[in-house]
Each structure stands twice: as C-alpha cells, then as structure tokens.
Amino acid sequence: MENNNRWLNSRAEGGKVYDSRFEELQKSGVDVHGEASFVMEYRPNTVLDAGCGTGRVAIELARRGCRVVGLDIDPLMLNRAKEKAPELDWRSGDLAVAQLNRQFELIVMAGNVMIFVAPGTEGEVVLNMSRHLLPGGKLVAGFQLGRGLSLQEYNRACAEAGLKLLEHYAAWDRKEYLPGGNYVVAVHQKD
Ligand SMILES: C[S@@+](CC[C@H](N)C(=O)[O-])C[C@H]1O[C@@H](n2cnc3c(N)ncnc32)[C@H](O)[C@@H]1O
C-alpha cells in the first residue's frame, strides 16, 4: 500500500520546508492552531494525531495539556516532528494497518490526510482508526472535497466502521457547512 500512498508519491519537500509555510503564516498574524483549538473544545485527555506529519497539531495539543501520540507514514515528516519535540511519542506506520494496542478519546486527521492515503484504503483507514477509539471517542477529520473523496463516501466509510456523524463544518473555525462546499471538518463518534 505504501507505494500507492498519494502523499509519498507527490511530496517533494522535507519537513522543514513544510513547516516554513506555517511559520510564514504565523509571522503574518494568521492563527495556525485552528485545528488544536477545535480539538480542545472536546476536552480530550488522550489524542492520536493520525497523519501527524511534522507534529504541527500534536505539539500544540501537548502544549495545551493533552497526552498525544503522533503516527505517520513519512519518515521525513516524522524526523522533523522528533527534532522539534523529542519528548513526545512518535510512531511510524500506515493508518490502514498500524496497531498501537491502545485506544484514545479523540483521533484527529488534520491537513488533508484522508485524501493522501493510498486510493482504495480509505475504508480501512477509518475502520482501523475506529478500533483505536475508546467507546464514545471522536474521529475528527478535515479535508478538501473534490479531490478523490466525497463527504458521502467518507460518511459511508465511517458508518461501516460503526461511527456516527456528530457534526460537520466548512472549516476549523466551525463555519457552517453548506452542500457543495470545497472543505469539510467532520466529527464522528464511536458508540
Ligand atoms: C499534508 S500532511 C498533514 C500533516 C499534519 N497532519 C498537519 O496538519 O500539518 C499529510 C500527512 O498525512 C500522512 N499520511 C498520508 N497517508 C498516510 C497513511 N496511510 N498512514 C500514515 N500517514 C499518512 C503523510 O505522510 C503526511 O505527513
């Protein structure tokens, strides 16, 4: 599956270049922690940052008091995360099959993770993430629509994995989602 991964096949940059975009945004006064603020509204103690990349979201969540684990398939991105926060728990693996042997109160997939997984593995990824959720736990995903995964397809994968749609928004600031929108932040819950 790793060879078909859309992120590994398309990214040209390492973690430092990836981070520099957010550093520039932050310097210009943009709030680059919308994902962490969104997640913190559910007050989770334990969070899996699934597709954590350079740890952008996980590090901020840890700073705000969560116990986080970051999981990613890309060694370049993970190396950067480890460099920035060696004290945190970083794991290497494919979201479709990784087994961390523990469950979390919340799993966040920020930054388009769902549209970068290997085509055809979206259902496996959602199912595997649901196995890593505690009962009542939440799966939070933000991704662009119209790039290989529709909201209907994602909702169906969640339903098949036993996750119910709680709410969805057009952005991390909880702007209302309107049909036909080009981005969604979806929150599903395990029974
Ligand atoms: C655009 S980056 C987002 C990184 C981070 N979540 C953020 O918001 O900054 C997408 C990340 O998803 C990871 N990813 C894609 N498919 C994956 C998979 N099947 N298993 C683990 N990580 C995956 C990539 O390696 C990459 O680091």
Report the pLDDT value the prediction gives residue 12, as an integer from 0 to 100. Answer: 85
For the whole prediction, is pTM greater than 0.95? yes
CATH of the domain at 134: 3.40.50.150
State residue 107's pLDDT score.
Answer: 99
3-state secondary structure 60-109: HHHHCCCEEEEEECCHHHHHHHHHHCCCCEEEECCCCCCCCCCCEEEEEE
Which atom belonging to ligand 1 lies closest to the Cα atom of 117?
A: 16
* Strand residues in the chain grouped as ranges (E): 46-50, 67-72, 89-92, 104-109, 133-144, 163-169, 183-190
Ligand 1: residue whose CA is nearest its atom 14: 51
Cα four-point dihedral sign 103, 79, 108, 146: negative
Q: Is 5 in the pocket of ligand 1 (CB under 6 A)?
A: yes
Domain that holds residue 72: 2-190
Ligand 1 pocket check for 116: Cβ under 6 Å: yes
Question: In terms of DSSP bridges, do strands 183-190 and 46-50 run parallel, antiparallel, or are they unpaired?
Answer: unpaired
Per-residue pLDDT, 67: 98
- Ligand 1 centroid to Cα of residue 80, in Å, is 13
Give the CA distances from residue 2 to residues 72, 74, 101, 127, in Å, rounded to whole numbers and listed in that order.
12, 10, 21, 18
pLDDT at position 100 is 98
Q: What is the CA(166)–ligand 1 centre distance, in A?
A: 24
Ranges of the chain whose pLDDT falls below 50: 1-2
CA dist 148 → 61, 119, 181 (Å): 29, 8, 14
Q: What is the pLDDT of residue 1?
A: 46
In ligand 1, the atom with minimum distance to the C-alpha of 2 is 19
Predicted local confidence at residue 132, as pLDDT: 98
User: In terms of Cα–Cα distance, which of 96, 77, 91, 184 is closest to 140?
Assistant: 184
Give residue-wise pLDDT tens across range 70-116: 999 999 999 999 999 999 999 999 999 999 999 999 999 999 999 99
Structurally, the chain folds into a number of domains equal to: 1
